[in-house]
Amino acid sequence: MSLPFIDLKAQYRLLKSDIDARIQRVLDSGAFILGPEVAELEAELARWAGVRHAIGVANGTDALQIALMIERIGPGDAVFLPSFTYAATAEAAVLVGATPVFVDVDAGTFNVDPDDLDARIAAVAKAGKLRPKALIAVDLFGQTADYRRLAPVMERHGLHLVSDAAQSFGGKLDGKAVGSLAPITTTSFYPSKPLGCYGDGGAILTDDPAKAELVRSIRFHGTSSSDRYDMARIGMNSRLDTIQAAVLLAKLKVFARELETRERVARIYDSRLGNLVAVPVRAPGVTSSWAQYTVQVDRRDQVAARLKSAGIPTAIYYQRPLHLQSAYRHYGQGAGSLPVSEQVADRVLSLPIHGYLDDAAAQRVCDAVAQAVGS
Ligand SMILES: *Cc1c(COP(=O)(O)O)cnc(C)c1O
């Protein structure tokens, strides 16, 4: 029998009565847009992250775009971001009219390499065509970016920092929760993320009341906070649906326990796979939310095929770094320009991990990997 890669059905079986009742309440109330569940969820998310403001939006991509809009980032601005990430990170920069500049990553953590970032900012500044304006740091696979080493680089070059925590909500760095590690953090509730809803959803987290007010305005077509009939700016239609907020309120109740299970599975993988394949490097002080457990192997396709025939599904995040994708090639960072991103893309393989994977299943994955990497 094949294991599921993520098990949304096990979670629904556990939460069914609560989720169904909460959805029914929204149906009965008719408050589908910005109903009371949205504000209730926002308060819970802010408390979870230890920040003053959380604002629900339609998805994690809009969240990134809005984060750039409130800093007035646009044409002529360079937005630095890792090439080894999901396309949404770069898309947000392009959608506001800015130019994405791809940065290489660390081969162990898969997150932005602060030294490479520093060098690329200096090169853009020296070329004089674009203004270095922002970094979107991605917490890839649930592990926080190296914010301690990124902070001085941001400061030296006067850049805005946006944290793309689409995969890392629930994680921590030095005891501080994701959401509080940057002036503005965005996340996603896409169903397969660690905290996922039953459709699209996202949020923006910040301690800054002025930023929070701008986000609330922009998600609602730019409506003025003091006069609802005045459009103060150009905004978007990017509200979080009440039904999705209701689903998330139910799921938040078990989120801490799910994160513990993910951590337990990751420890089993670490200890049993550490000398068979390259396991993810845990940076000191980081608690990952384990959106993915991604190893690096030689002959990746052969290993994946062997695992598949043993009933173990895998996924490849990401097959091709963004600078080599058709839509992004014209930015001119060709093959060879981001060597680590290119190298890891050929070797990564993500193993099953979710909040309902028991120890026996984790051991079964390890047995299959041991078989698959043997010759
Ligand atoms: C999923 C994801 C996004 C986008 O989130 P959506 O809610 O799907 O729009 C952005 N960045 C990263 C790194 C992601 O994994």
Question: How far away, in angstroms, is 129 Cα from ligand 1 center?
Answer: 29
pLDDT for 100-129, tens place per residue? 999 999 999 999 999 999 999 999 999 999
Gap between the Cα atoms of 369 and 277, Å rounded: 9
Residue 270 has pLDDT above 70, yes or no: yes
Percent of the chain with pLDDT over 90: 98
Given its phi and psi angles, is residue 176 left (phi above 0), alpha (psi -120 to 50 degrees) or beta? Answer: beta
Long-range CB pairs of 125-129, under 8 A, 24+ apart, other chains included: 125/157
How many CB atoms are located within 10 Å of the residue 131 CB?
A: 16
Using 50, 70 and 90 to split pLDDT, how confident is the model at 1? confident
The pLDDT of residue 175: 96
**pLDDT band with cut points at 50, 70 and 90 for residue 313:** very high
In this prediction, residues 4-8 reach a mean pLDDT of 94
pLDDT band for position 191 (cuts 50, 70, 90): very high
3-class secondary structure, 271? helix
* Residues contacting residue 206 through CB under 8 Å, at least 6 positions apart: 51, 52, 53, 183, 184, 185, 212, 215
**Residue 307 pLDDT more than 90?**
yes
How many A from CA of 65 to the centre of ligand 1? Answer: 11
Is 33 exposed, middle or buried (CB count within 10 Å of its CB: 0-12, 13-18, 19+)?
exposed
Is the CB of 238 within 6 Å of ligand 1?
no
DSSP label at residue 229: T
**CATH code that applies to domain 255-374:** 3.90.1150.10
- pLDDT per residue as tens digits for the range 142-187: 999 999 999 999 999 999 999 999 999 999 999 999 999 999 999 9
Nearest partner of 142 among 112, 175, 109, judged by Cα: 109
Q: Where does the pLDDT of residue 39 fall: very low under 50, low under 70, confident under 90, or very high at 90 and above?
A: very high
CA 166 to centroid of ligand 1, rounded, Å? 5
Pocket mutation for ligand 1, best pick of 190, 248, 292, 317 (most atoms within 8 Å of C-beta): 190
User: Cα of 63 to ligand 1 centre, how many Å?
Assistant: 9
Question: What is the domain partition of the chain in residue ranges?
Answer: 8-249, 255-374
- Whether the pLDDT of residue 228 is over 90: the answer is no
Q: What pLDDT, on the 0 to 100 scale, is given for residue 375? A: 61
Asked whether the beta carbons of 308 and 314 are under 8 A apart, the reply is yes
Residue 330, pLDDT above cutoff 90: yes
Comparing 8-249 with 255-374, is the CATH topology the same? no
List beta partners, residue 161.
135
% of residues, the chain, pLDDT over 70: 100
CATH among 3.40.50.2000, 3.60.150.10, 3.90.45.10, 3.40.640.10 for 8-249: 3.40.640.10
Task: Say what the pTM is.
Answer: 0.98
Distance of alpha carbon 356 from alpha carbon 359, whole angstroms: 10
